[in-house]
Structure 1
Amino acid sequence: MKSNLDITQLAFEYLRHNNSGLNVGNEAEFLVAVQKARARFADLLELSPSELQGQCRKGFDLKDFDG
């Protein structure tokens, strides 16, 4: 999927809004978390719309399974 999103900004916003599971003790750990989020978002932005929809469905299914 083509996008004009800045992957680094997306990673920062994700970590900022979803920090409940983020246990960062120092700057190095935070940068590692950002790099991991960047890699994940880069992978997702390469998907076609139908592939992305399938990934979202899997996530919702796992959430329902855990809940």
Structure 2
Amino acid sequence: MGYTLQYYDLVLAGIFGSLAAGVLVGHLTPIALTTSLVVFSFLAAGVMGHGLFINGPVDEAADLTNEVDALN
């Protein structure tokens, strides 16, 4: 049985891809590297925000109120 891509694998790839794109744009265009990294970092933050708040790692909102026994 092989590994299948999950949503959070794509989130991690999106974060890496946006930062890598910022580096490439900074090196291959007249746009300053720091400027392109800042702009593409906002894109990475948007991908992270979607992974955390829009499509969070819980099945339903009631899961957030359950106590965690492993920490006690």
Shorter-chain TM band? 0.3 to 0.5
The structure whose Rg is larger is: 2
Q: TM-score, normalization: structure 2?
A: 0.40
Q: TM-score, normalization: structure 1?
A: 0.42
